[in-house]
Every structure is written in structure tokens, then in C-alpha cells.
Chains A and B, each alone.
Chain A
């Protein structure tokens, strides 16, 4: 047993896995590229209907039309264009929702972790109550109440997921707060806010980057769920969840209508998770020891 301990102690730190970060960053870059340049990249207008060319198969099948590389849907809309525009919405929601959830959660987490006492008790109780609601249900109810649309989707995600940031940041701040560099900041006369912002926050930042990329993945999924149940943007506007919902009706006839948006979601989420995980390994221990 003692020997096992030593092996643990001497074992080299798990090596940085650049593969995951590279993979994740590449996928994220592709996603961003598709989203930003969708109007230039898309061969067609994503909402233009042409019933003459409905249900065209993707390029590798017989009867495909090279003008519609990934085929068309029931109304003859170009699937590739719709996916590209869907990426826009997915990424917009992911970035804004993750940022706002992160901001809210981080501020509350910093306060709870740094001040402790009743501040912590109050914030922690709110988090506990929040966590006792089933998240997907809560978001559906929320959007149903405040009305559908992109901003509602973002609000729903923020309202649900700020707790994730808050809990992790609180725990990390509590660890950092007991480090002597914080005591040193106090003894050299820094005020509380400066201590929090200029001393503790930079040490929590790597964690925030990791959480942010994981949260983007989650936001993409939540957005897909909400648009699948029709609570996101108006239905003729292409979203990945909406595409799955439409494709579902024709799954026997044209399964690719459902497969393509699913692949998009899975790849994006996998990529963001890989990025978050890889960053966790890269950013965490190196500076500490």
C-alpha cells in the first residue's frame, strides 16, 4: 500500500493532451466560420421553397442534384443552407447564453466564496432550490410563459445554468481565499473589491474558460430541445432542433433530413466538451506547482 502511494507520488503528471484542444478548437472554428459566413457559404436562401425539387437526396445518392449538395426537404429548401444558417443561431445562443450564465454565476459565486457567512448561506440556498427543479421542464415552462423567440431561449438557458458556474466558482474561491496571497493582499492594504477582482479572479479564470466551453455545448443542446418542441424562433427560420423536428416526419422516406442536423449537434457538443476537457488539463496544474 505504501509502495502504491509512492508510485502515485512519483508518477508523472498526466501529460497535456494537445489532441483534444486541437480537435475542439478546430470544430469550434469551423462552427464559427459557418455561422459568420453563412450568407456567403450557403448556395441558396434557406427559406426559399421550390416544390419542384423537394426530397432531393444528398450528393452521393442516385438522382442527386449538384446544386443541392446535401439534398432538399419536403418544401424543396436546401438542407446545406439551412444547416449553415442553423449554425448561426446555435452559436449565437451558445455564446450569449454561456456568457451571461457565466457572468451571473461567477459574480454570485465570487461573493458567496469570498464573503462566506450569511452571504454564502443565502446564495447557496437559492442554488439548492434552483437545482431541485428539473432543468428541461423548467426551461420549457419558462419559455412558454415569457413567449418564444431567440431572447427567450437565451434567458431560459441563463436562468437555468448560472448555478453551474456559481457552485464551481464558489468552491474554487473558497480554496483560493485561504491561500496566503489573499492574506498578503489584505495586509498590504488592498481593499476587498480589488482583492477579489485583481487577485482572486485571475486565479479562477482558467476554470471559467473551461466552464464556458462546456456551457456552450450545453446551450446548443438546450436550444435544440427548445426549437424541437417549437419554442424557439419562428418555425420557418432554420434551427438544428427545428430541422430534426421537420425531418422526423419523413424519417422513413428521407432519413438524412434528420441525420444531418443531429450530426451537427453531436459534433459541436463533442468538440466543445473536448475543448473544455483539454483546457482543464492544460490550464490547471501547470501554474500551480
Chain B
């Protein structure tokens, strides 16, 4: 039984009108009909270069953008055109972790209230229950409980991203969408976050959509991968298969362009100097 079914999903956003063009601003097609399904507990990597639409896809699924065509079914419910109040109920089960934890955590709030916010948005809880749940969440992402009293800017990048993860898990969602969440981090911090996410995914049975430009990172975390190019899916399949035997030339190009940490004097020469 698929948890999430995406069919023919299209997204068009209003572009900036440039120059002396009168009338309505042009609409730019960002997603050109995306199809995929995701089972409960499964993890899917969405990869692509800048402009491929991978971030927009994540945001359209969670309805931060309004799709222009196609359908999204979540837990057997059509959610494509739900109105705002119906969406709120849905959001309990579908959460997002953002790319830049510095900008996704309100700089004027302490960590405790940030983590308590999703709790307040849905249930009435006593103060003691909230405090306890916040402590649990901090434990879950291996942060000291004392961090509840700190501000986001007092934390390191890796710690902030842990807060982002904790906030997404606060409501015990079934699906988490993670958008480039390790791209700004050092290798060692990145490895810690990946390890944390991997263990949380298994312990909590989360379904995960992991959006990244880095195919190596996707390999660590995902069962399946979907390759986007200019708003279209060029290839999807199990990570094993796609990474070992890419079928589409673009996937092959992407993989070959990744500099693996092996000394290889011929690697650079294999590509033309011209763009």
C-alpha cells in the first residue's frame, strides 16, 4: 500500500517579467509531470542539479506551493486541492526539514519554544507535558536538554540541523521531507547527521523523501532514487541499480562528475575544457 502517490504533478510559478514586457508576467513551468510512489517506511532520494525542480517538488508535495496540475494522494486521501484548514490536519503526518537551519529557525525564539510550537498547534497540553516532550525530542536527536534555553545563533550548524530534525519529528509524522539538509555541513558533521537520520528512520518507521544534489549522500540514506532534470524524471529505481548501472545518459554524466576521493589523474582529462 503506497503511502504517497504522486501523479502527473505539474507546477508553474510566476516568473519575473524582464525588460519592457507588458501585460501579465510569464508563468514558468518548473515541474513538468512527475510520477512516483512511496511506501510507508521507505526512503526515496530526489537528486538533480540546480534548476532541476527538486526543491519545488518537495515543497509542492507538502503544499507550500499550489500545483497547477496532477494529483498527490497521501494515505489514500486526495490532498492536491485541500483547503487551508483541511491541510492543517494533514500536516501532522507530513513534515519538512529545511535546508538552512539558520533561516528555518526563528532567530528570535529559543529552542524550547521552537520545539513546543508544533505541539501547541495541534493538541492542548499542560505545561509539564510540553516540557517533557521537548526534553524527549532533544534526547531523540542527541542534544543536551539544556539547549532548550538557547537561541539558534548560539548553536553550531550541525546542532541547528538536529533541532530542525527534532521539530519535524515532534508530531510523529509518517512522512518527512528533508531538503538538502546536509549540504552546508562539514564532512564529519554531515556523517553524524546522516547516521542520526538513518537510525531515526529505522526506529520510528518513517517514510523519507531526501532531496539532495549529492548522489553519494543519497546512497547512504535511501532505498530508491529519482533523478530530476529540468522538471522531469529521467530515471528512477533502487539506489543499488541506478548507481551501479545508470540507464539514462544524464544519470551517467552526473555520477561520473562526482569526484570520488580516489587519486585518478585521468579523471579531469576525460572531460572537454569547453562548456
Q: Which A residues fall within an 8 A CB radius of B?
A: 179-181, 183-192, 199, 202-203, 205, 287-289
Contact = CB atoms under 8 A, between A and B. Distances in A.
A203 B107 CA distance: 8
Contacts of B109: 202
Interface string B104-142: 111111000000011001100000000000000000000
Given A186-B64, A189-B91, A190-B121, A180 B104 contact: yes
Given A183-B96, A189-B88, A189-B121, A287 B104 contact: no
Given A183-B104, A188-B117, 6 more contacts: A185-B106, A187-B62, A187-B94, A191-B88, A192-B84, A287-B153
Contacts of A189: 88, 91-92, 118, 121-122
Interface centre among A181, A188, A205, A289 (most CB of B within 10 A): A188
Nearest to B92: A189
Contacts of A289: 153
A184 B167 contact: yes
When A and B form their complex, which 6 residue pairs have the shortest distance between CB atoms, in order from nearest? A180-B104, A188-B118, A180-B98, A189-B121, A181-B106, A202-B108
Nearest to B108: A202
A187 B99 CA distance: 14
Contacts of B62: 187
A186 B106 CA distance: 13
B212 interface: no
Contacts of B91: 187-189
Contact of A187 (B64, B105, B122): B64
Nearest to A183: B64
Given A189-B88, A287-B153, A289-B153, A184 B122 contact: no
Interface string B59-93: 10010100000000000000000001000100110
B106 A203 contact: yes
B236 interface: no
A271 B186 CA distance: 47
